[in-house]
Protein backbone atom coordinates (compact mmCIF):
# COMPACT_ATOMS: atom_id res chain seq x y z
CA UNK A 1 0.00 0.00 0.00
CA UNK A 2 1.36 3.40 -0.94
CA UNK A 3 1.33 6.39 1.32
CA UNK A 4 -0.89 8.35 -1.04
CA UNK A 5 -3.27 6.63 -3.44
CA UNK A 6 -5.06 8.68 -6.04
CA UNK A 7 -7.72 6.52 -7.58
CA UNK A 8 -9.38 7.59 -10.84
CA UNK A 9 -9.87 11.20 -9.72
CA UNK A 10 -11.83 13.68 -11.84
CA UNK A 11 -12.33 17.34 -11.14
CA UNK A 12 -15.03 19.21 -13.00
CA UNK A 13 -16.45 22.71 -12.58
CA UNK A 14 -19.85 22.55 -14.25
CA UNK A 15 -19.09 21.40 -17.80
CA UNK A 16 -15.45 22.32 -17.51
CA UNK A 17 -13.40 19.15 -16.98
CA UNK A 18 -10.06 20.13 -15.46
CA UNK A 19 -8.62 16.79 -14.37
CA UNK A 20 -9.66 13.40 -15.61
CA UNK A 21 -8.84 9.76 -14.85
CA UNK A 22 -6.00 10.68 -12.56
CA UNK A 23 -4.46 7.68 -10.84
CA UNK A 24 -1.18 7.81 -8.94
CA UNK A 25 0.58 5.99 -6.16
CA UNK A 26 3.05 8.02 -4.16
CA UNK A 27 5.46 6.54 -1.64
CA UNK A 28 6.15 8.33 1.61
CA UNK A 29 9.11 10.68 1.37
CA UNK A 30 8.81 11.21 -2.36
CA UNK A 31 9.57 14.69 -3.75
CA UNK A 32 7.15 15.14 -6.67
CA UNK A 33 7.56 18.10 -8.96
CA UNK A 34 4.53 18.99 -11.06
CA UNK A 35 4.86 20.73 -14.41
CA UNK A 36 2.42 21.49 -17.20
CA UNK A 37 0.91 24.25 -19.31
CA UNK A 38 -0.75 27.17 -17.58
CA UNK A 39 -4.36 26.40 -16.72
CA UNK A 40 -3.99 22.63 -17.01
CA UNK A 41 -4.97 22.01 -13.41
CA UNK A 42 -1.81 21.81 -11.32
CA UNK A 43 -3.13 24.18 -8.65
CA UNK A 44 -6.43 22.34 -8.79
CA UNK A 45 -4.59 19.12 -8.01
CA UNK A 46 -2.89 20.77 -5.01
CA UNK A 47 -6.25 22.07 -3.78
CA UNK A 48 -7.54 18.53 -3.88
CA UNK A 49 -4.51 17.26 -1.95
CA UNK A 50 -4.97 20.05 0.58
CA UNK A 51 -8.63 19.21 1.12
CA UNK A 52 -9.64 22.70 0.04
CA UNK A 53 -11.82 21.05 -2.62
CA UNK A 54 -13.16 17.53 -3.04
CA UNK A 55 -12.82 15.58 -6.26
CA UNK A 56 -15.95 15.34 -8.41
CA UNK A 57 -15.23 11.66 -8.88
CA UNK A 58 -12.76 9.14 -7.56
CA UNK A 59 -11.02 9.14 -4.21
CA UNK A 60 -7.75 10.05 -2.57
CA UNK A 61 -6.34 7.94 0.25
CA UNK A 62 -3.71 9.19 2.66
CA UNK A 63 -2.00 6.41 4.62
CA UNK A 64 -4.91 4.13 3.77
CA UNK A 65 -7.62 6.50 4.98
CA UNK A 66 -9.82 8.92 3.06
CA UNK A 67 -8.11 12.30 2.79
CA UNK A 68 -9.56 14.78 5.33
CA UNK A 69 -12.03 17.10 3.58
CA UNK A 70 -10.55 20.33 4.89
CA UNK A 71 -7.07 21.72 5.47
CA UNK A 72 -5.37 20.45 8.64
CA UNK A 73 -1.94 20.53 10.28
CA UNK A 74 -0.97 17.24 8.65
CA UNK A 75 -0.56 18.93 5.29
CA UNK A 76 1.50 22.10 5.04
CA UNK A 77 1.31 24.57 2.20
CA UNK A 78 3.34 27.38 0.69
CA UNK A 79 1.73 29.56 -1.96
CA UNK A 80 3.41 31.88 -4.38
CA UNK A 81 1.98 34.86 -2.49
CA UNK A 82 -0.04 35.58 0.66
CA UNK A 83 1.52 32.71 2.56
CA UNK A 84 2.44 34.62 5.70
CA UNK A 85 0.37 36.72 8.09
CA UNK A 86 0.95 40.43 7.48
CA UNK A 87 0.04 41.42 11.03
CA UNK A 88 2.59 39.22 12.80
CA UNK A 89 6.35 39.63 12.86
CA UNK A 90 8.55 36.84 11.57
CA UNK A 91 8.93 35.19 14.96
CA UNK A 92 5.20 35.14 15.69
CA UNK A 93 4.40 34.03 12.15
CA UNK A 94 6.21 30.80 12.98
CA UNK A 95 5.38 30.55 16.68
CA UNK A 96 1.65 30.80 15.92
CA UNK A 97 1.88 27.30 14.43
CA UNK A 98 2.89 26.01 17.85
CA UNK A 99 0.29 28.09 19.68
CA UNK A 100 -2.85 27.39 17.66
CA UNK A 101 -3.03 23.59 18.09
CA UNK A 102 -2.30 23.85 21.82
CA UNK A 103 -4.66 26.71 22.63
CA UNK A 104 -8.05 25.95 21.07
CA UNK A 105 -9.81 28.69 23.04
CA UNK A 106 -7.53 31.71 23.13
CA UNK A 107 -5.29 30.76 20.22
CA UNK A 108 -2.21 31.85 22.16
CA UNK A 109 0.09 30.53 24.84
CA UNK A 110 1.33 32.38 27.90
CA UNK A 111 4.32 32.36 30.20
CA UNK A 112 6.84 29.54 29.96
CA UNK A 113 4.91 27.76 27.21
CA UNK A 114 4.96 30.89 25.11
CA UNK A 115 8.68 31.34 25.64
CA UNK A 116 9.29 27.73 24.67
CA UNK A 117 7.23 28.13 21.48
CA UNK A 118 9.10 31.29 20.56
CA UNK A 119 12.44 29.65 21.23
CA UNK A 120 11.57 26.75 18.96
CA UNK A 121 10.39 29.18 16.30
CA UNK A 122 13.58 31.19 16.65
CA UNK A 123 15.76 28.14 16.11
CA UNK A 124 13.92 27.23 12.94
CA UNK A 125 14.09 30.81 11.67
CA UNK A 126 17.82 30.81 12.27
CA UNK A 127 18.06 27.65 10.23
CA UNK A 128 16.29 29.20 7.26
CA UNK A 129 18.50 32.27 7.53
CA UNK A 130 16.10 34.73 9.14
CA UNK A 131 17.80 34.83 12.54
CA UNK A 132 18.32 38.58 12.23
CA UNK A 133 14.80 39.41 11.10
CA UNK A 134 12.74 38.06 13.98
CA UNK A 135 11.05 41.38 14.76
CA UNK A 136 10.29 42.37 11.21
CA UNK A 137 6.87 42.29 9.63
CA UNK A 138 6.45 40.53 6.26
CA UNK A 139 6.05 43.87 4.48
CA UNK A 140 9.57 44.72 5.63
CA UNK A 141 11.03 41.48 4.22
CA UNK A 142 12.11 40.88 0.63
CA UNK A 143 10.24 38.37 -1.52
CA UNK A 144 12.85 35.68 -0.93
CA UNK A 145 12.81 36.25 2.82
CA UNK A 146 9.02 36.06 2.85
CA UNK A 147 9.17 32.66 1.15
CA UNK A 148 11.79 31.48 3.64
CA UNK A 149 9.43 32.57 6.36
CA UNK A 150 6.56 30.71 4.72
CA UNK A 151 8.70 27.57 4.52
CA UNK A 152 9.69 27.86 8.17
CA UNK A 153 6.02 28.36 9.04
CA UNK A 154 5.09 25.17 7.20
CA UNK A 155 7.95 23.10 8.66
CA UNK A 156 7.28 24.04 12.28
CA UNK A 157 4.14 21.92 12.06
CA UNK A 158 6.16 18.83 11.02
CA UNK A 159 3.54 17.93 8.40
CA UNK A 160 3.69 14.58 6.61
CA UNK A 161 2.84 16.21 3.31
CA UNK A 162 4.03 19.56 2.01
CA UNK A 163 2.32 21.27 -0.93
CA UNK A 164 4.12 24.06 -2.75
CA UNK A 165 2.43 26.08 -5.51
CA UNK A 166 5.10 27.89 -7.53
CA UNK A 167 6.79 28.93 -4.29
CA UNK A 168 9.82 30.47 -5.99
CA UNK A 169 8.06 31.77 -9.12
CA UNK A 170 8.63 35.40 -8.20
CA UNK A 171 12.26 35.10 -7.08
CA UNK A 172 15.40 35.84 -9.05
CA UNK A 173 17.64 32.89 -10.10
CA UNK A 174 20.33 33.40 -7.45
CA UNK A 175 17.89 33.47 -4.57
CA UNK A 176 16.03 30.57 -6.12
CA UNK A 177 19.17 28.44 -5.88
CA UNK A 178 19.51 29.21 -2.17
CA UNK A 179 15.87 28.32 -1.68
CA UNK A 180 16.37 24.99 -3.47
CA UNK A 181 19.24 24.12 -1.15
CA UNK A 182 17.17 25.08 1.88
CA UNK A 183 14.18 23.05 0.75
CA UNK A 184 16.31 19.98 -0.02
CA UNK A 185 18.03 20.14 3.36
CA UNK A 186 14.73 20.34 5.21
CA UNK A 187 13.22 17.59 3.06
CA UNK A 188 16.16 15.30 3.74
CA UNK A 189 15.97 15.88 7.46
CA UNK A 190 12.24 15.48 7.89
CA UNK A 191 11.33 12.75 5.43
CA UNK A 192 8.10 14.40 4.40
CA UNK A 193 6.34 13.93 1.10
CA UNK A 194 6.49 16.97 -1.16
CA UNK A 195 4.35 18.10 -4.10
CA UNK A 196 5.76 21.14 -5.78
CA UNK A 197 4.28 22.93 -8.79
CA UNK A 198 6.77 24.78 -10.92
CA UNK A 199 6.93 26.45 -14.31
CA UNK A 200 10.68 26.03 -14.40
CA UNK A 201 11.44 22.66 -15.98
CA UNK A 202 15.05 22.71 -14.78
CA UNK A 203 13.83 23.29 -11.24
CA UNK A 204 11.47 20.36 -11.65
CA UNK A 205 14.27 18.06 -12.82
CA UNK A 206 16.81 19.23 -10.25
CA UNK A 207 14.71 19.07 -7.14
CA UNK A 208 12.36 16.17 -7.57
CA UNK A 209 12.66 12.46 -7.11
CA UNK A 210 9.71 12.18 -9.43
CA UNK A 211 8.53 14.50 -12.17
CA UNK A 212 4.83 14.53 -13.03
CA UNK A 213 3.84 16.18 -16.28
CA UNK A 214 0.20 17.27 -16.52
CA UNK A 215 -1.31 17.48 -19.99
CA UNK A 216 -4.45 16.76 -21.94
CA UNK A 217 -4.44 13.49 -23.86
CA UNK A 218 -7.61 14.27 -25.76
CA UNK A 219 -8.52 17.61 -27.21
CA UNK A 220 -11.67 18.80 -28.93
CA UNK A 221 -10.99 22.12 -30.69
CA UNK A 222 -14.75 22.84 -30.72
CA UNK A 223 -15.04 22.38 -26.96
CA UNK A 224 -11.71 23.08 -25.27
CA UNK A 225 -13.17 22.40 -21.82
CA UNK A 226 -14.65 19.01 -22.62
CA UNK A 227 -11.55 17.03 -21.69
CA UNK A 228 -9.28 17.36 -18.71
CA UNK A 229 -5.59 16.89 -18.07
CA UNK A 230 -3.94 13.83 -16.62
CA UNK A 231 -0.39 12.82 -15.84
CA UNK A 232 1.19 12.09 -19.22
CA UNK A 233 4.77 11.55 -18.06
CA UNK A 234 5.83 10.16 -14.71
CA UNK A 235 9.61 10.26 -14.56
CA UNK A 236 11.70 8.95 -11.64
CA UNK A 237 14.64 11.25 -10.95
CA UNK A 238 17.64 11.63 -8.69
CA UNK A 239 17.49 8.08 -7.37
CA UNK A 240 20.76 8.69 -5.51
CA UNK A 241 19.15 11.48 -3.56
CA UNK A 242 16.39 9.24 -2.36
CA UNK A 243 18.89 6.61 -1.26
CA UNK A 244 20.89 9.26 0.57
CA UNK A 245 17.77 10.46 2.27
CA UNK A 246 16.77 6.99 3.34
CA UNK A 247 20.25 6.56 4.81
CA UNK A 248 19.97 9.82 6.73
CA UNK A 249 16.67 8.60 8.10
CA UNK A 250 18.29 5.34 9.20
CA UNK A 251 21.10 7.15 10.97
CA UNK A 252 18.64 9.46 12.65
CA UNK A 253 16.64 6.43 13.79
CA UNK A 254 19.75 4.85 15.33
CA UNK A 255 20.66 7.93 17.32
CA UNK A 256 18.84 8.21 20.63
CA UNK A 257 16.97 11.51 20.46
Partner 1 sequence: MRLVNRQPERGARFLLMLLPFIVLVGVYFFGSTARLAGNPDDKLLPSASQMVAAIHHAALEEDGRSGEYILWADSAASLKRLGLGLAVAALLGLAMGTVTGVFPLARATFSPFMTALAMIPPLAVLPILFIVFGLDELSKVMLIVIGITPVLARDIEQRAREIPPEILIKAQTLGANSWTLVLRVVLPQLLSRLLLSLRLMLGSAWLFLISAEAISATAGLGYRIFLVRRYLAMDTILPYVIWITLLAWLMDFALKGANRLLFPWSEGART
Closest residue (Cβ) to ligand ATP?
Answer: 43
Pairing status of strand 31-36 against strand 193-197: parallel
Q: Residue 62 or residue 237: which is nearer to partner 1 going by CB?
A: 62
In terms of Cα–Cα distance, which of 223, 76, 34 is closest to 160? 76
Among Mg ion, ligand ATP, partner 1, none, residue 108 binds (CB under 5-8 Å by kind): partner 1
Q: How many CA atoms lie within 13 A of 146 on its CB side?
A: 21
Contact 12, 228 (CB under 8 A): yes
Closest residue (Cβ) to Mg ion?
Answer: 43
Among ligand ATP, Mg ion, partner 1, none, residue 96 binds (CB under 5-8 Å by kind): partner 1
Q: Residue 129 or residue 169: which is nearer to ligand ATP going by CB?
A: 169
Contact 52, 241 (CB under 8 A): no
Query: Considering the complex, what minimum distance in angstroms separates the CB of residue 42 from Mg ion?
Result: 5
- Binding positions for ligand ATP, rule: CB under 6 A: 13, 16, 18, 36, 38-44
Among Mg ion, ligand ATP, partner 1, none, residue 18 binds (CB under 5-8 Å by kind): ligand ATP
Among partner 1, Mg ion, ligand ATP, none, residue 44 binds (CB under 5-8 Å by kind): ligand ATP
Q: Residue 176 or residue 216: which is nearer to ligand ATP going by CB?
A: 216
Q: Residue 216 or residue 245: which is nearer to ligand ATP going by CB?
A: 216
Query: Considering the complex, what minimum distance in angstroms separates the CB of residue 152 from partner 1?
Result: 12
CA distance 108 to 41: 37
Query: Considering the complex, what minimum distance in angstroms separates the CB of residue 102 from ligand ATP?
Result: 34
Query: Considering the complex, what minimum distance in angstroms separates the CB of residue 38 from ligand ATP?
Result: 3
Amino acid sequence: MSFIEIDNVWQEYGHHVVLERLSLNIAEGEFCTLVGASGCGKSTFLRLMLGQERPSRGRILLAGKALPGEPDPGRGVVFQRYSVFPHLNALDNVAIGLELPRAPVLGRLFGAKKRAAREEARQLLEKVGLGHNLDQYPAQLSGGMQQRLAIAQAFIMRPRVLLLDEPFGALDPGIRKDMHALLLTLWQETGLTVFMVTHDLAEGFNLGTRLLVFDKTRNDPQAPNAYGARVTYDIPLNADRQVARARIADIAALQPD
